[in-house]
Amino acid sequence: MQPSFAPGPDRSESADLAFTDPLTGLGNHRRFSDKIDRLISDRADDPAPFTVGILDLDGFKPINDLFGRRAGDDILVQVAMRLRAAMDAGSTVARVGSDEFAFLFPMVFSEEAASERAKMLIEIISAPYDVGDRMARLSASVGCSLFYSGDETTEVLVDKAETALYHAKRSGRGKVVVYTREMEEAAKRVTRIEQALRRAVAAGEVEPHFQPIIDLETRRVRGFETLARWTDRDLGPVSPAIFIPIAEERGIIGPLSQLVLRKATEAARNWPRDLFLSFNLSPSQLVDQNTGLHILTILDRTGFDPRRLEIEITETGLMNDPVSAGKIVEDLRRCGIRVSLDDFGTGLSSLGRLREFHFDKLKIDRSFVSSILDDRPSEHIIRAILAMCEGLGMEAVAEGIEKEGQAARLSEFGCQGGQGYLFGRPADAETTLGLLRDTIRGRPALVAV
């Protein structure tokens, strides 16, 4: 057989392909890192500042799910074309993740200038996109870091930009954050909390506390909401407003949730049988199809009746993956577990969610309850919510009740359930059991603790 002399790709072409994103034609992560390496080397003798940025598309996954992967790829190509056109001479843009782009501005020397240039990129990204005969819109979040010293490496600069991006995304869509020293300290504190939380979860040191949910007409306890509480041996008491988001972002929320549910159901099985236990699921648990199995396994091991459990989910959790969330909700309801929609009124499309999902209960957000006595719009909104619940056959519980006047007004409007400091603060399992025993003996039990 004669040898084939068909030409293959030369070395320069192969090397170029290794540094190129095949979908958009932009440079990839390797090319972007190489550009920064070269710029740092060029400025070794005179380290003049320059800017590195990471741009993340906000809400790209729902668009991908809605229009399809091919349309999503087409949008990514359009994004790449817009960003490339926005680069001046010497600047670079690359695609470094599925919906992440990175840019290098060699001639942007200050935090103010970096922020302004990044805001311009967001404006360019935000213009509508044609997807066949339909139109889609995107926003973006950006994190930037500036090179100031020859001691900084490419990896350090990119890590700082990623940290700034993390802060930008936590601030809401369409935000720009430039890395500061304060962020570095905050990032170190988050890491310390994360490591301590991992140890605490493994050691079973996070505890459930219970806040009463009462019948507004009779003022009798109907059930309790479970709230996670954690006191670390070194950090002291850590607020759930701090450690729950960290658990969610760092992948600890599953084991943490299972630990707290196990302890809560072990405690609640000793309560009177007519009391229910309410438990919150996080957004990430609503995209994990093993969530229902985990819950049912815990209930089986602790001997807790599924019909006494209520699961609370937020609209934000539903929006990440409605199909997955819907399946989990239906699986739980088939087993007798009731499902509540928490923080109603704070989402973007609550009425649509009520049509798509079957909820047993709706919890009115505390922001409406807190102003019910002196704000007519809040009063009318609560009346409308209650009328809607009646029409849909759902119970309603008002959160954040702190004044007797609020409770009286809500009861007058027909709200069945209430929760808040007026009726009791969250308490540990032993204190809660003591309150219930006092109730059985006929003593007043609903006092703030």
Would you call 237 helix, strand, or coil by DSSP?
strand
Query: CA-based angle 83:85:88, to the nearest 5?
Result: 100
Q: How confident is the model at residue 187 (pLDDT cuts 50, 70, 90)?
A: confident
pLDDT tens track for 196-210: 999 999 999 999 999
**208 and 164, same structural domain?**
no
pLDDT of residue 175: 94
**Which residue among 132, 150, 179 closes a domain?**
179
Domain membership flag for residue 287: yes
Domain membership flag for residue 189: no
**169 and 58, same structural domain?**
yes
What secondary structure does DSSP assign to 173-215, as a single string? TT-EEE--HHHHHHHHHHHHHHHHHHHHHHHT--EEEEEEEEE
Domain membership flag for residue 5: no
Q: For the chain, what is the mean pLDDT? A: 89
* CATH number of the domain residue 81 falls in: 3.30.70.270
Q: How confident is the model at residue 3 (pLDDT cuts 50, 70, 90)?
A: very low
**214 and 84, same structural domain?**
no
pLDDT tens track for 313-331: 987 777 777 888 889 999 9
* CATH number of the domain residue 394 falls in: 3.20.20.450
The proportion of the chain whose per-residue pLDDT surpasses 70, expressed as a percent, equals: 92
If one counts every other C-beta atom within 10 angstroms of the C-beta of residue 206, the result is 23
| Token output for 50 | 């320059």
pLDDT of residue 1: 44
pLDDT tens track for 62-75: 777 777 888 889 99
| Token output for 163 | 């940290």
pLDDT tens track for 9-23: 555 555 577 889 999
Is the model's pLDDT at 263 over the cut of 60? yes
**208 and 174, same structural domain?**
no
Is the model's pLDDT at 241 over the cut of 90? yes
pLDDT of residue 9: 52
**127 and 276, same structural domain?**
no
Residues 418-426: what's their mean pLDDT?
Answer: 95
Domain membership flag for residue 345: yes
pLDDT of residue 5: 43
pLDDT of residue 350: 55
**Which residue among 128, 149, 179 closes a domain?**
179
Residues 132-138: what's their mean pLDDT?
Answer: 83
Domain membership flag for residue 151: yes
Which phi-psi region, left, alpha or beta, contains residue 83 (left: φ > 0; alpha: ψ -120 to 50)? Answer: alpha
**148 and 20, same structural domain?**
yes
**206 and 155, same structural domain?**
no
Domain membership flag for residue 3: no
**φ, ψ for residue 427 (rounded to 5)?**
-135, 155
**142 and 39, same structural domain?**
yes
Contact between 271 and 436 under an 8 Å Cβ cutoff? The reply is yes
> Alpha-carbon distance 419 to 213, whole Å?
5
Would you call 400 helix, strand, or coil by DSSP?
coil
**398 and 257, same structural domain?**
yes
**234 and 143, same structural domain?**
no
Domain membership flag for residue 170: yes
Domain span at residue 100 reads 14-179
> Alpha-carbon distance 418 to 400, whole Å?
8
**Top-confidence residue, 113 or 184:** 113
Which of these ranges, 55-69, 263-277, 281-295, has the smallest mean pLDDT? 55-69
How far CA 435 is from CA of 164, 334, 418, 423, in Å, comes to 47, 33, 18, 12
> What pTM does this model have?
0.73
**Which residue among 179, 209, 241 closes a domain?**
179
Is the model's pLDDT at 269 over the cut of 90? yes
Residues 340-359: what's their mean pLDDT?
Answer: 72
Domain membership flag for residue 187: no
**238 and 170, same structural domain?**
no
Count of domains forming the chain: 2
* DSSP category for residue 112: H
The proportion of the chain whose per-residue pLDDT surpasses 90, expressed as a percent, equals: 69
**260 and 161, same structural domain?**
no
Q: How confident is the model at residue 309 (pLDDT cuts 50, 70, 90)?
A: very high
